[in-house]
Amino acid sequence: MKEQDLHNEKDTFLAKWLEGKITDEDLKTLVTNAEYNSYMKIKKGIETYEALEASTEASFEKITDHISKKKGNVRKLHTNSWFIGIAASIVLFFGLFSLLADDIVTIKTNYGEYKTIALLDGSEVILNSKSTLTYNEDEWASDRSLHLEGEAYFKVEKGNTFTVHTENGEVKVLGTQFNVNSISDLFEVVCFEGKVSVQSKDENYILLPTHSVRRINGHSIEKWETFETDPTWIHGESTFKSVPLKYVISALESRYDINIEAKDIDQTVVYTGSFTHNDLDTALKTVFKSLQIRYVEKDNRNIYLSIK
């Protein structure tokens, strides 16, 4: 009987939490850490479902009927109280979404692909092409940390420390917007909003809006300011400022799923400029003609470079 009372009590405050009557911090004091992490996953699953499927009376009735079939004692729900039914049917949702699994989430992008990822705390990540993002979903509520290979733009909600780990260094923030690019021996961080802490090779830097730092091939950190309000690549154009040509070539390969043979040219030549994501020929002309480099596509998606 006591176990039943405890279950009913948890259903009550869980329903209130889902309706916004109890804050996340209040919920933390009422349940265990493991339960809290699981409940956060339910909430995120509901939000994701709502974003993907427009809330209509028909879809609501379908959800209600499904819950009723699974649990005969669930009352028919009204549209403005369907969260309560979901809270009472928590076990059903655990089964449907496998929410009790200790999952390491890995998200990858292919050539020329972007992905927008909504994290459990409401933070957002836009992942650039040929990049990988990894994080522990179950521990997210207490440890907002993830690992990045490639490039991503972060819009971080305020809260406890948010950490981006890369092979070239790490970035820590509380709530801000910033871009991180960590590819091979290139490490670049640009702050667009808030304040960013950057650590690389035992060196620490604090970035304010418009400030940027970059380390190339293990050399000393470079600093500069940007006039952009967000990274240009999320708008369909990759932009470079005084970088060796080999990084531009790598970006072209990732964007267009091509192979560029560059052994006959000097890839240390410094390039400043941009290329479009919408047309390969235009992108190649923009980069290589400005450097007096000839390019020829000898076979499918294999580009060969040579000096004019």
Q: What is the pLDDT of residue 30?
A: 72
Segments in the chain forming alpha helices (H): 2-18, 24-30, 33-52, 57-70, 82-88, 90-97, 245-256, 280-288
pLDDT single digits (tens) 91-139: 444 444 444 445 899 999 999 999 999 999 999 999 999 999 999 999 9
What is the C-alpha to C-alpha distance for residues 260 and 246, in angstroms, rounded to an integer?
10
When the pLDDT of each residue in the chain is averaged and rounded to a whole number, the result is: 81
| This model's pTM is above 0.85 | no
pLDDT in tens, 74-83: 444 444 444 5
Q: Which domains does the chain have, with CATH numbers?
A: 2-97 (no CATH), 104-225 (2.60.120.1440), 236-307 (3.55.50.30)
Residue 254 burial (CB count, 10 A): 22
Sequence-ordered list of residues with C-beta below 8 angstroms from that of 90, at least 6 positions apart, any chain: 11, 14, 42
Query: How far is the C-alpha of 206 from the C-alpha of 190, rounded, in Å?
Result: 11
